[in-house]
Amino acid sequence: MKKEQLKKIIDVAMKRIPADLVLKNASVIDLFNGETVKGDIAISDEWIAGVGSYEGVTEIDASDLYASPGLIDSHIHIESSYLTPEEFGSLVVPHGTTTIIADPHEIVNVNGFAAMEYMIKAGERTALDIHYMFPSSVPATSFETAGATITSQDMAGVLERPDIQGLGEFMNSVGVFLADDESLNKLMLARDAGVVIDGHSPGLKGDALNAYIAAGIKTDHECTSIAEMNDRLSRGMYVLLRQGSACHDLERLVQGVTSRNYRRCLLCSDDRQPKTIFEHGHLEHHLRICREAGLDVYTSLAMASLNAAECYRLYDRGAIAPGLRADIVLFENLDNFDVKQVFIAGAEVARDGEYLPEVNKYPTDAVSSSMHVKNYNIDRLKLKLKSDKVHAIKVLPGGVDTKDELVRVHRDEADNFVFDPEIDVAKIAVVERHQESGNLAVALLKDYGIKHGAIALSIAHDSHNIICVGTNDIDMDLAIKSLIEQEGGFVLTREAKILRATPLPVAGLMTDRSAEWINEELEILHDIAIKELKVSKEVDPLMTLCFMALPVIPELKITDKGLFDVVKFEFIDIEA
């Protein structure tokens, strides 16, 4: 704020001059006292000058509306929406979201620093206020091949940048409690810069959890039970209650929120697809879940705004009060949280579900080429087995965890795995696509349900190599080759024919088209997977597959280097 702006906001507050904008006679949500008051909200430039009785150059009648601070998603990966930052902003702002804490972990694992710069520049072209964390884990682990490697030496000076909010989710929890040198170096960079360090510690407890938090890690969004949540809260962590497209932890964890602990509880999405947003909304969906669980409106809204602002040191927002940014949502009601109007930094940016600014996109050239595959051919998809008894990755509906299950399968005369439609076990392959390493691994996936054809994606958290599941090598080969040719996305095949091919040309992760377009494509892909390929209705065909290569979520996963036991933290043979 410049001196002349400071004088202006004081003059507006004192009614010496009219406000630029006044929201008249609103029911104002006061999160500090936990009450609603009637009054005018006076806005000077991008700040709130006062709440009371004011006149303005422009006045908007809000007499039948509830004025809430703008909603803050405390942890989200924009890339998981398959949209560029500009399109993502246009999608969520009409739902009342004014700020997000974004971790561009996915695209940085593909394109490194070039991707970070792209996301920052693209984010500047949306009304949504995007605060980026710098990814801590590129690659996420040493057990897979990513498109980039960013060491602590590479990160020197990065966390001091004003456009970097903090250090992204520290996925290498083992590295922390074993005090390995590289983990300590990254943690020290964040500590020296005085920034927030996000956590990622599924299943961590006891001494290991103490060590993790003692290292300076402040948040966790991986709690799946109230016991885990309380364990972290008691140790001073902020817990991010996640409600994404794949993980619905908020529905369980909200039962553990009380009047004593709610100020350390935040709301987040982590991964949220357009389909979920179109059907349920964004953070207003989280708010509905909170209210249905019995939380009062002030507790619910604090978790969606004030708590997140304080956690991430965004002290200029999070409530409606003098001197704060005029990030304001006008709700029609406080039960369903229907959004009427949205203001960001004093400007009206959405009305009646419509995003008002023009969508002007930043060029994607720096992140447009992402397929660098070497030595791939169909013969490499064969899975030769020494035994009929093997380890399979068992899909668990409703989440991204898996189980290590022993199954019996069929082999041909050459001892190669043969798909049997009576046994719900299909072949799954990961093909490295970044470094031309030639890495390719094949394993088995159970309870995914596929009976015909193949599905290939270039989205496979966190290194995002090609992942493909199928019943036969011909369809898998066609899907993989087509995916490489179209520079990433989705390909579904059956009987040596392409049923649907959806390109994602931005790093193989995002479309350069609209939210409506990708949503329609995803619905078509979903229907084909269920109806034509017979994938189980109990799982999301695409989202489930995206997480089968994530070697930090228990129990069994596959990377381009082989079958990985997350519990033992080592590669294992497929034969039991």
Does position 553 have pLDDT exceeding 90, yes or no?
no
Residue 326 lies in a domain: no
HEC-encoded secondary structure of 425-479: EEEEEEECCCCCCCCEEEEEEECCCCCCCEEEECCCCCCCCEEEEECCHHHHHHH
Are 305 and 422 part of one and the same domain?
A: no
Domain CATH for 76:
3.20.20.140
For residues 531 and 408, membership in a common domain is answered with yes
Q: What average pLDDT does this structure show over 39-47?
A: 98
The answer to whether residue 333 is domain-embedded is no
76 DSSP β-pair partners: 102, 270
Q: DSSP string covering 324-381, please?
A: SB--EEEES-SSS--EEEEEETTEEEEETTEE-S---PPP-GGGS------S--GGGG
**Tens-place pLDDT, residues 337-360:** 999 999 999 999 999 999 999 999
Residue 247's pLDDT band (cuts 50, 70, 90): confident
Domain tally for the chain?
Answer: 3
Please give the pLDDT value at position 34.
Answer: 97
Last-in-domain residue among 278, 298, 319? 319
**Residue 88 and residue 233 in one domain:** yes
Which pLDDT score, from 0 to 100, does residue 552 have?
A: 81
C-alpha 307, offset from chain centre: 19
Instruction: Indicate whether 398 pLDDT > 80.
Output: no
User: Is residue 272 in some structural domain?
Assistant: yes
Are residue 54 and residue 74 in the same domain, yes or no? no
Among 256, 289, 319, the domain boundary falls at 319
Which DSSP letter does residue 575 get? Answer: B
The pLDDT tens digits of the residues spanning 106-118 come to 999 999 999 999 9
If asked whether residues 264 and 372 sit together in one domain, one would say no
CB atoms within 10 A of CB 27: 18
Q: Has residue 324 been placed in a domain?
A: no
The reply to whether 417 and 315 lie within a common domain is: no
Answer yes or no: are the C-beta atoms of 439 and 377 closer than 8 Å: no
256-305 pLDDT, tens digit each:
999 999 999 999 999 999 999 999 999 999 999 999 999 999 999 999 99
Task: Count CB neighbours of 162 within 10 A.
Answer: 5
Tell whether 468 and 564 lie within a shared domain: yes
26 and 133 in a common domain:
no
- Report whether 533 contacts 494 (CB < 8 A): yes
How far is 237 from 257, CA to CA, in rounded Å?
14
Last residue of some domain: 17, 44, 64?
A: 64
| pLDDT digit string, tens, across residues 212-228 | 999 999 999 999 999 99
pLDDT value at 399 more than 80 = no
Q: Specify whether 93 is located in the same domain as 56.
A: no
Same domain? 58 vs 84: no
- Sorted by sequence, the CB contacts under 8 Å of residue 122 that are 6+ apart come out as 84, 85, 86, 361, 362
| Peptide bond just before 139 cis, omega within 30 deg | yes
Q: Is residue 457 part of a domain?
A: yes
Full residue range of the structural domain in which residue 86 is found:
70-319
Considering the domain architecture, whether residues 42 and 76 belong to the same structural domain is answered as no
Q: What was the pLDDT predicted at 369?
A: 81
Asked if residue 325 belongs to a domain, the reply is: no
Residues 466 and 434 in one domain: yes
For the record, the structure tokens of 535 come out as 């994938």
Average pLDDT of every residue of the chain: 96
CATH for 58 = 2.30.40.10
Q: Tell whether the model's pLDDT for residue 141 goes beyond 90.
A: no
